[in-house]
Every structure is written in structure tokens, then in C-alpha cells.
């Protein structure tokens, strides 16, 4: 960089090339630019037509100094890929047409450049992985016990063959070979491994069931049992399911459920005692009282709700904190107006799901604050 003195006698630091060749600048260099800061060097027009100025300047440029760069393109390499089957997880190893492959995106890439020993380790671990998957699947899908035992034997054979050649799955060399496969943690869990002694003991799955197939309950002897089964299997009170378990119509077992379930007069739905006798029990009592006037069935509800009514608090026992989630936004708005001694100007909003409050105030309210 060198200083260039323009026609206004201003010293401007610019590239040395233009200091020595001011005729190649198509205008007057001035400190009038304002792109990033004030007084930046900029080239202002000198009255010439830009096209004419270019015609004059271009012949003065040095000739023969540009050389086009020759780029040699490498021959494209073609890699054989195959569509990935759905059962192969992303980034998982598998075998396809005798080749060890890995799934990337939705295709299988053959791993032809692996050392032969590493490739053999991966093949063996694939066999163990597929065997333990089959063993677990047989325990989950309700297969007959004979098939569960057969799948467990197949897992033992696959594991024993691998360990006889490559050692325990938890050995560093085996882990490195299968690194990145999403089922590597599953394979490592097959052994109770002692890292110091380099010895491994087979986990429980090699000897017995680890997943027990749950059999649905088909019948029970008491209404309370039927209620528990309904809640456990259906997640709700299902009277039709209870009737099927007891092999009785609802009218016969409902009296035995007294105190355990209640008919809600607001929704006309049956609810468990812990559901009905909780929440806003004061409001529920008022509704049940009104319903019992015309329907004696709800007298039971009234008595149960009376037993769970909370004691009234005195004024000194009530502590209301501003921002409590149960406060109505309108009450907070009124309180704010009275606190600031203004008739309006504050809007209060509350998002119950997020537990957040929003306050917007006009200029008058902000001034009062």
C-alpha cells in the first residue's frame, strides 16, 4: 500500500499498482465513500462516458499474462450399490450376495476395502446379532415354547462359533470392527465381561426367557378384580369389558361396585372413586345435590362428596401470590388498575399450558407505574 495524492491534495492509501498507473483509474479518487464508514476511498466520475474510458484504458493493460488453467478430470469411479431392505437399520452392517455391506441412507454400500480379518469379524457378529434378534422376537410375538427354545439354541450356536474364533464380543478388536452399528450395545449386553481377566460369561438370555409374553385376563370372580383388570388393560373404566370378565350383565354387578365407581351427573359417564372424588369437589357437590332432587341414585354421590369437602379457610389463612396459575386474568387486570390508580390501559393474558403471563400497558399505565 502507498499513499496517493488526489487532485484535492488528499493523501489516500491505495494499491501500489494504481499509484504508479493513475491513468487506469476511470475517475477521480476521493474520500467521499460511505459504505461501511464515512470518508472511505471511492472512485467518482470525472465526466467521461464509462464505455469510452474503458476503450482508452484496456489497451494500456499488459498483454499475454493470462494463462488458462488446465484441469484434468479424474475418471469417475462406479461403486456398486443396492436398495436397502426395510429390515436393515440405518448405519447397520449386513450381508448381501455374499458381500459385507453397510446401509447409508436407503442403499447398501459393499465394504470391499476392509481387511479380511475385519470382514470375518463383522460376518460373525452379524450372525450373532440376527440370532439374538430372532430369540427376542420369539419371546415377544407369542411363539410356541418349542420355537422359543429353538431360537435360544440357535443363538448359543452362533455365539459359541464366534467366540471360538474371535474371542468375547466385548474385546476391543471386535468392538472396533462393529463400531457404528446400532445393535452393538445389544451384542455387548450378551456378556458379563471382566475387562481385567478378558473373560466373559453368558447373560441370562442364553439360558432362559428374558421377556414373558403377557396373556390377557379372560375371566375374574369379583367385580373389584374386574375393575382392576379394566384399568390395567384398557386404561379406563370399561363396564362392557368388566361384564365380559364376570360373564354377568352390568345390572347384576353394579351394586357390588358401590363406593368404587360413581355415575357423574354432569357427563353421565361412570368414573372411579379417585377420579370423581377429586378436583373441584365443591362444584361437583352442588351438581350432585341438584341431580339428587329428581334422581335418588345420586344421593350416594352427595354423601361421598360431603366426606371429601375441604375445611373452609379463614381470611388470615388465605395467601394469594401474584402470578399463581389459578388466578383469573381479569382479577389480575383489576388489581393492576387499582394499584396504579388508573381506570384502564393494562391488558393481562395467561397461557395455562405454558404457565406464562403476558402484560401489555399503554403510555398512561407505564407513566403511572
Q: What is the mean pLDDT of residues 250-259?
A: 91
Number of Cβ within 10 Å of residue 79's Cβ equals 8
Reduced DSSP (H G I as helix, E B as strand, rest coil) percent helix, strand, coil of the chain, to 5: 45, 15, 40
Distance between alpha carbon 360 and the CA centroid of its chain, in Å? Answer: 34
Predicted local confidence at residue 49, as pLDDT: 82
Q: What is the mean pLDDT of residues 314-330?
A: 83
Which triple of cell numbers denotes residue 322?
401474584
> Per-residue pLDDT for 152 more than 90?
yes
Short-list 270, 268, 288, CA closest to 280: 288
In 27-63, which positions are buried (b, 16+ CB within 10 angstroms) versus exposed (e)?
A: ebbbeeeeeeeeeeeeeeeeeeeeeebeeeeeeeeee
Predicted local confidence at residue 72, as pLDDT: 58
What distance in Å separates the CA atoms of residue 366 and residue 369, rounded to the nearest whole number? 5
Cα–Cα distances (Å) from 62 to 16, 17, 47, 57, 58, in that order, read: 16, 12, 26, 11, 9
Question: What mean pLDDT, rounded, does the chain reach?
Answer: 87
CA angle 101, 107, 109 (to 5 degrees): 30
Predicted confidence band of residue 167 (pLDDT cuts 50, 70, 90): very high
Strand (E) or helix (H) holding 126:
helix 116-140
Strand (E) or helix (H) holding 113:
none
Note the pTM of the prediction, 2 decimals: 0.46
Predicted local confidence at residue 78, as pLDDT: 53
Cβ–Cβ < 8 Å for 24, 60: yes
> Per-residue pLDDT for 357 more than 90?
no
Residues 326-340 pLDDT 10s: 888 898 888 888 888
Q: What is the mean pLDDT of residues 89-98?
A: 92
Give me the phi and psi of 194, to 5 degrees please. -100, 105
CA angle 175, 110, 187 (to 5 degrees): 25
Predicted confidence band of residue 369 (pLDDT cuts 50, 70, 90): low
Predicted confidence band of residue 76 (pLDDT cuts 50, 70, 90): very low
Per-residue DSSP letter, 151: H
> Per-residue pLDDT for 74 more than 60?
no
CA angle 170, 172, 178 (to 5 degrees): 80
Q: What percent of the chain has pLDDT over 70?
A: 93
Short-list 211, 203, 198, CA closest to 187: 203
> Per-residue pLDDT for 73 more than 60?
no
Predicted local confidence at residue 200, as pLDDT: 93
Mapped onto helix, strand or coil, the DSSP state of residue 197 is: coil
Amino acid at each position: 500500500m502507498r499513499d496517493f495524492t488526489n487532485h484535492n491534495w488528499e493523501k489516500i492509501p491505495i494499491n501500489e499498482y494504481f499509484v504508479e498507473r493513475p491513468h487506469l483509474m476511470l475517475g477521480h479518487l476521493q474520500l467521499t465513500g460511505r459504505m461501511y464508514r464515512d470518508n472511505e476511498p471511492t472512485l467518482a466520475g470525472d465526466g467521461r462516458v464509462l464505455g469510452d474510458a474503458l476503450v482508452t484504458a484496456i489497451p494500456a493493460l499488459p498483454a499475454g499474462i493470462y494463462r488458462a488453467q488446465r484441469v484434468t478430470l479424474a475418471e469417475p469411479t462406479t461403486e456398486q450399490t443396492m436398495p436397502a431392505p426395510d429390515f436393515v437399520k440405518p448405519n447397520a452392517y449386513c450381508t448381501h450376495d455374499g458381500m459385507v455391506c453397510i446401509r447409508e441412507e436407503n442403499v447398501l454400500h459393499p465394504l470391499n476395502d476392509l481387511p479380511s480379518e475385519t470382514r470375518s469379524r463383522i460376518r460373525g457378529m452379524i450372525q450373532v446379532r440376527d440370532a439374538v434378534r430372532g430369540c427376542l422376537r420369539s419371546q415377544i410375538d407369542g411363539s410356541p415354547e418349542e420355537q422359543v427354545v429353538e431360537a435360544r439354541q440357535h443363538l448359543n450356536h452362533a455365539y459359541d462359533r464366534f467366540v471360538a474364533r474371535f474371542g468375547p464380543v466385548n474385546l476391543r478388536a471386535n468392538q472396533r470392527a462393529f463400531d457404528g452399528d446400532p445393535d452393538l450395545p445389544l451384542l455387548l449386553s450378551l456378556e458379563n465381561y471382566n475387562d481385567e481377566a478378558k473373560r466373559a460369561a453368558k447373560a441370562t438370555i442364553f439360558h432362559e426367557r428374558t421377556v414373558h409374553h403377557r396373556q390377557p385376563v379372560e375371566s375374574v370372580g369379583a367385580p373389584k378384580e374386574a375393575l382392576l383388570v379394566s384399568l390395567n388393560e384398557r386404561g379406563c373404566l370399561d363396564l362392557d369389558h368388566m361384564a365380559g370378565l364376570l360373564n354377568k350383565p352390568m345390572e347384576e354387578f353394579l351394586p357390588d361396585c358401590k363406593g368404587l365407581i360413581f355415575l357423574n351427573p354432569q357427563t353421565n359417564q361412570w368414573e372411579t372413586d379417585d377420579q370423581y372424588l377429586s378436583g373441584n369437589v365443591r362444584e361437583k357437590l352442588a351438581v350432585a345435590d341438584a341431580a339428587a332432587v329428581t334422581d335418588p341414585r345420586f344421593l350416594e354421590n352427595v354423601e361421598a362428596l360431603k366426606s371429601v369437602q375441604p375445611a373452609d379457610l379463614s381470611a388470615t389463612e388465605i395467601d394469594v401470590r401474584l402470578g399463581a396459575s389459578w388466578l383469573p386474568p381479569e382479577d389480575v387486570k383489576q388489581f393492576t388498575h387499582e394499584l396504579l390508580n388508573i381506570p384502564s390501559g393494562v391488558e393481562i393474558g395467561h397461557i395455562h399450558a405454558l404457565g406464562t403471563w403476558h402484560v401489555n400497558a399503554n403510555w398512561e399505565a407505564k407513566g403511572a407505574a
